[in-house]
A and B are shown apart, each in its own frame.
Chain A
Amino acid sequence: MDLNLTAEESVFRDELRAWLEVNVPKDWAEWREKPLEEAFPHMRAWQRKLHEDRWAAVSWPKEYGGRSATLMQQAIFWEEMARAEAPPMANALGLGLIGPTIIAYGSDAQKKRFIPKILSAEEIWCQGFSEPNAGSDLAGLQTEARLDGDDYVVNGQKVWTSFGIFGNWCELVVRTDPNVPKHKGLTVLLVDMSSPGVDVRPLRQMTGESEFCELFFRDVRVPAENVLGQVNDGWNVAVSTLMYERGSYGARLHLLFKRNIERLIALSRMIQRNGHPAADDPLIRQKLAQCFGEIEIMRWNQLRAFSRITSTGVPGPEGSILKIFWSELNQRVQQVAQEMLGPYGQLAGGDRHAVDNGVWSYGYLRTRGNTIEAGTSEVQRNIIGHFVLGLPRSY
């Protein structure tokens, strides 16, 4: 066990840190609060800049434009991005989930066609996985694709599609054989979102914003050459994408959480409670300390999991504790913020009395989604029960 950075990791960090210092857009403050539609072109430009110096997809193999970064280097990458307060990249799903899946399962022609434009943010990708009747039970999805000549004809509906309105391409999971057990009749298609019959509608979520979309497919023709992996092997392809989701998603969160708790600690010195600063209130102190401690444990869990993946080669189901840990912790942190802020906690950004431009009101609502998105806490506990502890399948 040695938690000091290796020489190689230090070089990686120093190079990145220096690069970010020079290149993080100076005008980000002006557009970070803007609606996504207005911010998106900036995010595209930012990704292009990262890509020009091979920072857009550090985890990817060198021959595909990445740096073949180790997991620890990937963790360093996201920590440095958060530390530098760098904007998010436009093609988050393409870089994080779909690109790696294409690299793993795609034909040479597909890699050549899609990979460069994922990196350059020229083509934005979205994911067509969940359906109104297939959420946690993803394999029960109903969107169907029928072979007709050289094309598949797709009909159905998807939901909870991030970046749907910007999506040029979609990794779509469809049912190609309804007559076999549900996991065995699925196929992944790479779908051009400008195809006739594709309809994208923003989905308004409980925060009031539209991070997600619904996708409707009516007789959409997709060339058979756009099958990713093998026909009817789509479950394995999709699961591989979801593993990337669980593996890398948590890494970038630690510093964001850390920033939240540091801000709450700063606020606790200013906010009055029972005639004294909240920082002097024994109960508030206990709650802030608990959050502070758990945010550190979240990082230690991640580092331990990364070390384990590094030694075994694949992301394992242990990643499930990371998802449960960060999502439930984030909700607890937001609850503590609400308790501390009292009536001010409910004020949105537009209100002139709002604290921190309404981030705590927003965060309280938004974090309800954390224990649902990317695998509900219940599904995660099923995964631990069955795949880690070896208990019999419950469903």
Chain B
Amino acid sequence: MEFGLSESQQFLKDHARKFFAGECPMHEVRRIMGTDTAYDATLWSKMVAQGYTGITFPEEYGGVGFGKVELILLVEEAGRALLPGPFFSTVALAGSVLNAVAGTEQKKRYLAPICVGGARSAVAILEAGASWNLADVHIASANGKLTGEKLFVPDAAAADFIIVVARDGVFAVEAKAPGLAIRPMEAMDPTRKLYSVRLNSTPAEKIGDTGGLARAFDVAAAALVAEMVGGMQRTLDMTVEYAKTRKQFGKLIGMFQAVQHQCADMYLETESARSAAYYAAWALEENAPDAAVAVSIAKMYASDAARTVGNRGIQIHGGMGFTWENDLHLYYRRAKTSETAFGDSIFHRERIARLVIDGSAVSVQRA
């Protein structure tokens, strides 16, 4: 049993860290988040050249063919860099949905362009009720067309096609399709913009049934937890660095236990969320019987921990932490978006309860 990263996994992670540090430093994040869609074509093409958009998809569609662990290691580093734009939406989410529900022909049409850099995508799930339970989706197709409104759709304006989750299946809608209106929602995170997506008798191609969605969302949720871990790690690093340089009362504030113990808790929360993300990714990769529970445990823990780590980090930075120019609040904003995406801790605790209290047979795997 080996819970450490393999040499090639560590290499991938280190390489991604260097790549994002070089190609997307914080001043670039700020520039890109100031654009309409937070999508930067130059940066995107460099990521495509690294194979990042095809990281976990089969080689027959132009992907790299790595597993879920490699996917989340890459996303963790993207999260650490606060990578703006549709990478998560396109690769971790839309790609996972296509991989799970689409047939060969449609994978060629939709997944292959994602892998080789020809297309970006977004997935429209929530409606006015903002429920992550698929049973609460109301929109359904009629004669190959969709009508209704989806909300909180990340990166919709940067997408070449939008995947719409409907009652009777999963559909692809071209960005230029008639009757499609994409409007920004003024949300907290400028690096991952949210949109309302209105469909009015909009032509849509069914790409699969909803049956495979739960597993695809679990993959996306595990990746999101890893992205949150990356953000937590960066927040922790910035905070420890600050505590080692800021002086008050003639001493480094990192000497004070009130500060030091908060840093220790940030470390504990970050490492624990990381353990959970890695385990969940491995369980998904192996199709372990506890994969769904593991994802919910990871998202439950990280949803609270990412917020708490952000709280502590801002607090320790004092007045500096409350300024626009300090980068902490950008991570804090992303953490809030991520906290609710795919269900917050309350949602996942209830999901765990259904699996382990109501469904008595489910027990997390033991060695």
A interface vs B, CB < 8 Å? 1-6, 9, 13, 72, 75-76, 79, 83, 255, 258, 262, 265, 268-269, 279, 282, 285-286, 288-290, 292-294, 296-297, 300-301, 303-304, 306-308, 310-311, 318, 320-321, 324-325, 378, 380-382, 384-386, 388-394
**Can you list 23 A-B pairs, Cβ within 8 angstroms, ordered by A?**
A1-B4, A1-B282, A2-B282, A3-B286, A5-B1, A6-B1, A9-B1, A76-B367, A286-B350, A289-B357, A293-B349, A296-B279, A297-B301, A300-B3, A300-B279, A301-B275, A321-B272, A378-B257, A382-B257, A382-B264, A388-B267, A391-B240, A392-B255
B260 interface residue per 8 A CB criterion: yes
If A285-B349, A296-B297, A321-B272 touch, does A2 touch B255 (CB 8 Å cutoff)? no
CB of A289 within 8 A of CB of B350, answer: yes
Q: Which residues from chain B contact A304 at a C-beta distance below 8 Å? A: 3-4, 271, 274-275, 278
**Whole-angstrom distance from the CB of B299 to the nearest CB of chain A?**
10
If A265-B356, A307-B3 touch, does A5 touch B367 (CB 8 Å cutoff)? yes
Chain A CB within 10 Å, residue with most, of B6, B69, B244, B279: B279
B366 interface residue per 8 A CB criterion: yes
- How long is the Cα–Cα vector from A300 to B282 in the complex, in angstroms? 12
B276 interface residue per 8 A CB criterion: yes
8 A Cβ contacts from B4-19 to A: 4-6, 9
Q: Which residues from chain B contact A255 at a C-beta distance below 8 Å? A: 366
B153 interface residue per 8 A CB criterion: no
If A297-B297, A389-B264 touch, does A268 touch B2 (CB 8 Å cutoff)? no
Q: Which residues from chain B contact A382 at a C-beta distance below 8 Å? A: 257, 260-261, 264
- B252: contacting residue among A5, A380, A386, A392, CB under 8 A: A392
- How long is the Cα–Cα vector from A311 to B275 in the complex, in angstroms? 17
CB of A391 within 8 A of CB of B353, answer: no
B interface vs A, CB < 8 Å? 1-6, 9, 69, 240, 243-244, 252, 254-257, 259-261, 263-265, 267-268, 271-272, 274-276, 278-279, 282, 286, 293-294, 296-297, 300-301, 346, 348-350, 352-353, 356-358, 363-364, 366-367
Q: Which residues from chain B contact A384 at a C-beta distance below 8 Å? A: 263-264, 267-268
CB of B254 within 8 A of CB of A392, answer: yes
Q: Which residues from chain A contact B350 at a C-beta distance below 8 Å? A: 282, 285-286, 289
Q: Which residues from chain B contact A390 at a C-beta distance below 8 Å? A: 240, 244
CB of B367 within 8 A of CB of A75, answer: yes
- A301: contacting residue among B272, B346, B348, CB under 8 A: B272
- A306: contacting residue among B3, B259, B278, B349, CB under 8 A: B3
Given contacts A3-B279, A289-B353, 4 further A-B contacts (CB under 8 A): A75-B367, A262-B363, A300-B3, A391-B254
CB of B278 within 8 A of CB of A296, answer: no
Q: Which residues from chain B contact A311 at a C-beta distance below 8 Å? A: 4
**Whole-angstrom distance from the CB of B236 to the nearest CB of chain A?**
8
CB of B254 within 8 A of CB of A385, answer: yes
Shortest 10 CB-CB contacts between residues of A and residues of B? A385-B260, A293-B297, A384-B264, A391-B254, A289-B349, A289-B352, A300-B275, A381-B264, A285-B353, A307-B4
Q: Which residues from chain A contact B286 at a C-beta distance below 8 Å? A: 3-4
CB of B260 within 8 A of CB of A1, answer: no
Of chain B, the residue at the smallest CB distance from A70 is: B1
CB of A385 within 8 A of CB of B264, answer: yes
CB of B294 within 8 A of CB of A296, answer: yes
Q: Which residues from chain A contact B257 at a C-beta distance below 8 Å? A: 378, 381-382, 385, 394
Of chain A, the residue at the smallest CB distance from B345 is: A290
**Whole-angstrom distance from the CB of A23 to the nearest CB of chain B?**
21
Chain B CB within 10 Å, residue with most, of A285, A293, A320, A378: A293
- How long is the Cα–Cα vector from A303 to B148 in the complex, in angstroms? 48
- How long is the Cα–Cα vector from A111 to B252 in the complex, in angstroms? 47
Q: Which residues from chain A contact B348 at a C-beta distance below 8 Å? A: 289
CB of B255 within 8 A of CB of A285, answer: no
CB of A1 within 8 A of CB of B297, answer: no
**Whole-angstrom distance from the CB of A333 to the nearest CB of chain B?**
14
- How long is the Cα–Cα vector from A255 to B274 in the complex, in angstroms? 22
- A3: contacting residue among B3, B259, B296, B363, CB under 8 A: B3
Q: Which residues from chain B contact A303 at a C-beta distance below 8 Å? A: 1, 3, 275
Of chain B, the residue at the smallest CB distance from A277 is: B357
Q: Which residues from chain A contact B240 at a C-beta distance below 8 Å? A: 389-391
Q: Which residues from chain A contact B5 at a C-beta distance below 8 Å? A: 1
Q: Which residues from chain B contact A293 at a C-beta distance below 8 Å? A: 296-297, 300-301, 349, 352
Q: Which residues from chain A contact B294 at a C-beta distance below 8 Å? A: 296
Chain B CB within 10 Å, residue with most, of A288, A300, A304: A300
- How long is the Cα–Cα vector from A329 to B4 in the complex, in angstroms? 24
CB of B357 within 8 A of CB of A265, answer: yes
**Whole-angstrom distance from the CB of B226 to the nearest CB of chain A?**
13
- How long is the Cα–Cα vector from A382 to B367 in the complex, in angstroms? 33
Chain A CB within 10 Å, residue with most, of B244, B278, B349, B358: B349
**Whole-angstrom distance from the CB of B134 to the nearest CB of chain A?**
20
**Whole-angstrom distance from the CB of A252 to the nearest CB of chain B?**
13
Q: Which residues from chain B contact A297 at a C-beta distance below 8 Å? A: 272, 275-276, 297, 301
Q: Which residues from chain B contact A324 at a C-beta distance below 8 Å? A: 264, 268
Of chain A, the residue at the smallest CB distance from B267 is: A384
**Whole-angstrom distance from the CB of A287 to the nearest CB of chain B?**
8
- How long is the Cα–Cα vector from A378 to B297 in the complex, in angstroms? 27
- A389: contacting residue among B263, B346, B358, CB under 8 A: B263
Q: Which residues from chain A contact B1 at a C-beta distance below 8 Å? A: 2-6, 9, 72, 303, 307
Of chain A, the residue at the smallest CB distance from B274 is: A304
CB of B364 within 8 A of CB of A391, answer: no
- How long is the Cα–Cα vector from A261 to B300 in the complex, in angstroms? 17
- B256: contacting residue among A4, A83, A388, A394, CB under 8 A: A394
- B9: contacting residue among A1, A75, A285, A321, CB under 8 A: A1
CB of A394 within 8 A of CB of B272, answer: no
CB of A292 within 8 A of CB of B352, answer: yes
- How long is the Cα–Cα vector from A192 to B271 in the complex, in angstroms? 43
**Whole-angstrom distance from the CB of B176 to the nearest CB of chain A?**
42
CB of B367 within 8 A of CB of A79, answer: yes
Of chain B, the residue at the smallest CB distance from A380 is: B264
Chain B CB within 10 Å, residue with most, of A301, A318, A382: A301
CB of B3 within 8 A of CB of A288, answer: no
- How long is the Cα–Cα vector from A385 to B173 in the complex, in angstroms? 51
Chain B CB within 10 Å, residue with most, of A265, A268, A311, A385: A385
- How long is the Cα–Cα vector from A59 to B1 in the complex, in angstroms? 17
CB of A321 within 8 A of CB of B6, answer: no
Q: Which residues from chain B contact A320 at a C-beta distance below 8 Å? A: 264
**Whole-angstrom distance from the CB of A393 to the nearest CB of chain B?**
7
